[in-house]
Amino acid sequence: MGLELDFSVVLERWRALLDGAALTLQLAFIAVICGAAIGVFGAIGRRGGNALVERLCGAYVEAIRNTPLLVQIFLVYFGLSSLGLKFSAFTVAAVALTINVGAYTTEIMRAGFDSIHKGQIEAAEGLGLSRAQIYWHVIIWPGIERVYPALTSQFVLLMLASSVTSQISAEELTAVANYIQSETYRSFETYIVVAFIYIALSFVMRFGFWLLGLALFPRRRRLGTPL
Amino acid sequence: MNAHSAPPAAAAPVVALRNVHKSFGPLKVLDGVSFTVPRGEVMVLIGRSGSGKSTALRCIDRFETIDNGEIEVCGRRVDDARLDVRALRQDVGIVFQSYNLFPHLTIEENITLAPHSVKKVPKAEARALAAKVLAQVGLEEKLHAYPEQLSGGQQQRAAIARSLAMQPKVMLFDEVTSALDPELTGEVLKVIEALATEGMTMVLVTHEMSFARGIADQVVFMHKGKVHEAGSADILSSPSTPELAQFVGTGL
Ligand SMILES: Nc1ncnc2c1ncn2[C@@H]1O[C@H](COP(=O)(O)OP(=O)(O)OP(=O)(O)O)[C@@H](O)[C@H]1O
Ligand SMILES: [Mg+2]
């Protein structure tokens, strides 16, 4: 008896799948933007002089890196509701994913910032640049350029991991899949289709980051060599 | 001199160290160093490795703080804890052995960065300034190149141009040719010579003795953290201490 696959009942629900994919991308987009901002400040905090700030940033990173994403999501979910705050599943998912990716981004950016040679900073100091100007022109941008591939991977990983937020009924792609398979009893087909959609989303994201990289790093665009 | 009136500006030295002491932990690196560089003069610092030349230079630009003594640069007390360090660094240009150009910026961007963001020179004006200083070091055609596309000598000249764009009152050079082969060394030294001719006040650390002889108004030989011998460039040909004699004799 061969395997009989029937995709029609799954593909029939393309509208729902598309909505789910769009929500997944939205979650990823929000978490990446906010997480990148957290990453920059977190990395500066972990490097910059103040022992208390350094400890706090370090504790944040370690707490996130050593707990499962699903547990983090539940902590945000139940944490907010026990404070009497009522947010949509989407908001909770976005917050949890942001906190999660912010920690990983902090670590990656710290590695990037640390890779900037001391001589670069001294040269900038010698020219009279302020600390903030040195960070912005000499540490942050070239630092991010160095670790851009690692950042991109982390962000794509985050998009894939967002599937876990189906557990709190955020209506993203995996939640839609769960719903479709329970309705159609075509579980295998459903997840095959969804897997391909995730692959497509990954490609879309990687392409987007490639374009963004061209815009952000003109030296790389012109010379084609890594910094 | 009349004690009640300030000395005329022209007579005030651009750089003056008075009995400067500096230790790194237990290691005494500057042990009562004094020297004075008047406006428009070139002072060459020489000495064995570890004698404290770089440290002395770095103290002038407040990259190191001193334990004791006085440093005065362009009328500012550098040893004062309340010193406006960024204001000092606008008056002082410093160039290191490793060029430290910013690799992600074009040569033009390297040069315009500080004038634009520190001195608030408008972009267009800063670009004109970049073209001017690059012409000064003979690199006008490299405006839009990236540092890695330049030879070592060209990178060092670009680094000098970047400092010049801030229109410093004094330039500090720390072994700026040590990483270069003889041919490239020559092109960098020529740029420094041209600056001297134009009247730039300079303090330079170098191992190029013939260059030192040609350019120095004043030579300071450092030995074990002290100014062991100082004078005109003539001390290089007729040293009066055995240490300097040995130092120039070895051709270092
Ligand atoms: N930041 C530092 N911490 C500890 N020791 C230092 C530091 N900077 C310099 N030193 C030490 O101080 C001494 C003088 O160093 P300095 O760099 O001033 O010598 P130099 O005359 O410039 O030598 P070179 O010709 O090798 O450049 C050396 O023994 C060096 O190891
Ligand atoms: Mg040195």
**Residues 6+ away with beta carbon under 8 Å from B224:** B31, B51
Could you tell me the pTM of the whole model?
Answer: 0.91
Identify the CATH assignment for B7-251 out of 2.30.42.10, 3.40.50.1010, 3.40.50.300, 3.30.499.10: 3.40.50.300
What is the rounded distance in angstroms from the CA atom of residue A150 to the CA atom of residue A146? 9
Residue B123 DSSP SS3 = helix
- The pLDDT, as a whole number, for residue B249 is 84
B80 C-alpha to center of ligand 1: Å?
23
Q: Atom 12 (ligand 1): residue with closest C-alpha?
A: B29
Ligand 1 atom, smallest distance to B55 CA: 18
Residues of chain B predicted below pLDDT 50: 1-3, 7, 251-252
For residue B24, the cross-strand partners are: B27
Nearest CA in chain B to A129: B118
CB contact under 8 A, B159 and A123: yes
- The pLDDT, as a whole number, for residue B46 is 96
Q: Which residues of B touch A142 (CB under 8 A)?
A: 102-104
Nearest CA in chain B to A142: B104
Question: Nearest Cα to B33, choosing from B69, B75, B76?
Answer: B69
Domains in chain A, CATH or no CATH each: 18-221 (1.10.3720.10)
Mutate to test the pocket of ligand 1, among B17, B22, B23, B27 (most ligand atoms within 8 A of CB): B27
CB contact under 8 A, B96 and A119: yes
Residue B115 DSSP SS3 = helix
Query: What is chain B's length?
Result: 252
- Do residues A39 and A31 touch, judged by C-beta distance below 8 A? no
Q: Which residues of A touch B203 (CB under 8 A)?
A: none
- The pLDDT, as a whole number, for residue B12 is 85
> Hey, where are the domains in chain B?
7-251
How many A-B residue pairs are in contact by the CB < 8 A criterion? Answer: 71
CA atoms within 13 A on the CB side of B198: 15
ipTM: 0.92
Alpha helices in chain A (DSSP H): 8-11, 14-47, 51-65, 69-82, 89-114, 118-126, 131-134, 141-161, 173-184, 187-216, 218-223
Question: Nearest Cα to A36, choosing from A124, A97, A116?
Answer: A97
- The pLDDT, as a whole number, for residue A49 is 79
Burial class (CB in 10 A: 0-12, 13-18, 19+), B149: middle
What is the rounded distance in angstroms from the CA atom of residue A181 to the CA atom of residue A173? 12
- The pLDDT, as a whole number, for residue A33 is 97
A41 touches chain B (CB under 8 A): no
CB contact under 8 A, A123 and B102: yes
What is the enclosing helix (H) or strand (E) of B218? Answer: strand B218-223
Which of A122, A130, A227 lies closest to B86 in CB terms?
A130
- Supply A53's token pair: 């700030």
- Report the residue of B102, B144, B148 to disrupt the A interface, i.e. the one with the largest count of A CBs within 10 Å: B102
Ligand nearest to the CA of B48: 1
β-strand B201-205 against B42-47: which pairing, if any? parallel
What is the rounded distance in angstroms from the CA atom of residue B252 to the CA atom of residue B247? 6
Would you give per-residue pLDDT tens digits along chain A (227 residues)?
567 888 998 899 999 999 999 999 999 999 999 999 999 999 999 998 799 999 999 999 999 999 999 999 999 999 999 999 889 999 999 999 999 999 999 999 999 999 999 999 999 999 999 999 999 999 999 999 999 999 999 999 999 999 999 999 889 999 999 999 999 999 999 999 999 999 999 999 999 999 999 999 999 999 998 88
